[in-house]
Amino acid sequence: LDKTAKLDKSGDNLEVKQDDDDKEDKAAQSLLNKLIRSNLVQSTHQVEVLQRDPNSPLYSVKSFEELHLKKDLLQGVYGMGFNRPSKIQETALPMMLAEPPQNLIAQSQSGTGKTAAFVLAMLSRVDLSQRHPQCLCLSPTYELALQTGQVIEQMGKYCPDIKLAYAVRGNRLEKGQKISEQIVIGTPGTVMDWCTKLRFIDTKKIKVFVLDEADVMIATQGHQDQSIRIQRMLPKDCQMLLFSATFEESVWKFAQKVVPEPNIIKLRREEETLDTIKQYYVLCDNKEEKYHALCNIYGAITIAQAMIFCHTRKTAGWLAAELSKEGHQVALLSGEMMVEQRAAVIQRFRDGKEKVLVTTNVCARGIDVEQVSVVINFDLPVDKDGNPDCETYLHRIGRTGRFGKRGLAINMVDSKYSMNILNRIQDHFNKRIEKLDTDDLDEIE
Ligand code: ADP
């Protein structure tokens, strides 16, 4: 398999460009998060559970032993360094492993342990006496499928008889061949071909169906239809499991189409607040002045680590180049980089090799870099229509209770237009953004 992490733009669908961009965005973010994730995202919220049968008892486990897994599988779990189930796993695992099998729709932010949970469920349901696909997992892209495949291989390390096949583009098999692997992971288009035209998979023998990253999946209309068509080919008693990091209305509708009679588990994400953030703005006349203001405050911001956000790739590239010319050490995260390159840049920054990271909004959305204490909006966040994008503003500079460190945000304003945006952001959050004089920086330290 070719494991380069270039995004699947051509692969499984023939959607219009806009859709593709959207999808690439979401899929890239998701992959990036997986590549840079070093551990579990903790949560202070309780899981919300909606049981299909409200009268059946609700089990939750505090240890992996309580799940009575096969020895080899438990060894695989501990081998990955997991000591105890994550918050969502505490409730999701008993449901997923119950007899008779139950269907599940689960939503929680990326990094909370969903993948590990369904991988465990698939591995534990494999019947080793049968040499045909029994578990089928759909992922939105080639790269995401490979990532999940790696988790299956890791967790199944001590179960040498469990085999995994990748139904992804480029993985060509002889026509008419049947597959003996018990777990198949792939993208909807290729899986569809394997189940229908090529008949590599007998869908009637599938016992567990997993639909991962449902929110990324439905960003492509074609994937949604293909997933539903695949689901329709499965037997009635097949266990259906669906996972999503977010849960907007469209995901919910889709989930209900592919998961009949579901149990539902939700774990709310930590909310960000501006309470511990000092917010400033700097008044300039143009891009060059913004650059000079930035140079003036550079010393102050590199005390900790800073991220600088620009609106376009072009500005980000220009700014990083100018700062480098001045002898400053900056890292640049840009949209044209491959996802693995981006992950490497973020890793270097996290390791403190660079103190300043210049990026565009799209690139850095949804990425937590915990030690960042200064955020500079070189351009203010606006949406497609040029209105203030308050949500993005909050994500960029807000802190969750967990990392409740004090932070500093500096906004660069270079026109009446951006002053207006700033004022609207200020009104939205009802939190004062103070003017900063970059020739007199005592107040920010
Ligand atoms: P999600 O699918 O929700 O994004 P993952 O299953 O990929 O989350 O888990 C996120 C990270 O946490 C991964 O690095 C994974 O290895 C780790 N992880 C998952 N479950 C546990 C656990 N019970 N204990 C410790 N680490 C875990």
Give me the pLDDT at residue 412, please. Answer: 96
Give me the pLDDT at residue 294, please. Answer: 92
Taking the alpha carbons of 18, 213, 255, 88 in that order, is the dihedral positive or negative? negative
Q: Do the beta carbons of residue 31 and residue 144 sit within 8 Å?
A: yes
Residue type, 21: D
If you measure from the C-alpha of residue 86 to the centroid of ligand 1, how many angstroms do you get, rounded to a whole number?
Answer: 8
State the DSSP H helix or E strand holding residue 240, giving kind and residue range, or none if neither: strand 239-244
The span from the CA of 135 to the CA of 422, in Å, is 51
Position 435 pLDDT exceeds 70: yes
Position 336 pLDDT exceeds 90: no
**Which string of DSSP letters, residue by residue, matches 296-354?**
HHHHHHTTSEEEEEESSHHHHHHHHHHHHHTT--EEEE-TTS-HHHHHHHHHHHHTTS-
Position 304 pLDDT exceeds 70: yes
Give me the pLDDT at residue 126, please. Answer: 98
Query: Pseudo-torsion of CA 14, 16, 22, 27, nearest 10°?
Result: 10
Atom 22 (ligand 1): residue with closest C-alpha?
82
Of ligand 1's listed atoms, the one at least distance from the Cα of 245 is 3
Task: Categorize the per-residue pLDDT at 13 as very low, low, confident or very high, splitting at 50, 70 and 90.
Answer: very low
Atom 24 (ligand 1): residue with closest C-alpha?
82
If you measure from the C-alpha of residue 358 to the centroid of ligand 1, how many angstroms do you get, rounded to a whole number?
Answer: 28
If you measure from the C-alpha of residue 8 to the centroid of ligand 1, how many angstroms do you get, rounded to a whole number?
Answer: 24
Average pLDDT of the chain to the nearest whole number: 87
Of ligand 1's listed atoms, the one at least distance from the Cα of 119 is 6
Give me the pLDDT at residue 7, please. Answer: 36
Predicted complex ipTM exceeds 0.95: yes
Q: Do the beta carbons of residue 214 and residue 251 sit within 8 Å?
A: yes
Give me the pLDDT at residue 399, please. Answer: 72
Give me the pLDDT at residue 14, please. Answer: 30
Of ligand 1's listed atoms, the one at least distance from the Cα of 112 is 3
Position 9 pLDDT exceeds 50: no
Task: Give the max Cα distance, the chain.
Answer: 75
Give me the pLDDT at residue 1, please. Answer: 38
Q: 161-193 pLDDT, tens per residue?
A: 999 999 998 888 877 788 999 999 999 999 999
Q: Look at strands 356-360 and 239-244 and give their pairing.
A: unpaired
Task: Categorize the per-residue pLDDT at 68 as very low, low, confident or very high, splitting at 50, 70 and 90.
Answer: very high
Give me the pLDDT at residue 366, please. Answer: 61
Of ligand 1's listed atoms, the one at least distance from the Cα of 64 is 23
Residue type, 386: G
If you measure from the C-alpha of residue 118 to the centroid of ligand 1, how many angstroms do you get, rounded to a whole number?
Answer: 11
Count the alpha carbons within 13 Å of 54 in the hemisphere toward its beta carbon. Answer: 1
Residue type, 227: S
If you measure from the C-alpha of residue 354 to the centroid of ligand 1, how many angstroms do you get, rounded to a whole number?
Answer: 27
Residue 391 Ramachandran class (φ > 0 left, ψ -120 to 50 alpha, else beta): alpha
If you measure from the C-alpha of residue 353 to the centroid of ligand 1, how many angstroms do you get, rounded to a whole number?
Answer: 26
If you measure from the C-alpha of residue 188 to the centroid of ligand 1, how many angstroms do you get, rounded to a whole number?
Answer: 24
Non-local (6+) Cβ contacts of 310 within 8 A are 316, 319, 358, 359, 360, 361, 378, 379
If you measure from the C-alpha of residue 114 to the centroid of ligand 1, how many angstroms do you get, rounded to a whole number?
Answer: 7
State the DSSP H helix or E strand holding residue 48, giving kind and residue range, or none if neither: strand 48-50
Tell me which of 37, 84, 139 to substitute to probe ligand 1's pocket, judged by most ligand atoms within 8 Å of the beta carbon.
37
Tell me which of 31, 33, 109, 115 to substitute to probe ligand 1's pocket, judged by most ligand atoms within 8 Å of the beta carbon.
115
If you measure from the C-alpha of residue 36 to the centroid of ligand 1, how many angstroms do you get, rounded to a whole number?
Answer: 12
Query: Which residues surround ligand 1 with Cβ inside 6 Å?
Result: 37, 39-40, 80, 82, 85-86, 89, 110-116
Q: 344-397 pLDDT, tens per residue?
A: 898 888 888 998 999 987 666 666 666 778 899 999 999 889 999 998 898 888
Position 272 pLDDT exceeds 90: no
Give me the pLDDT at residue 445, please. Answer: 52
Of ligand 1's listed atoms, the one at least distance from the Cα of 116 is 6
- Average confidence (pLDDT) over 62-80: 97
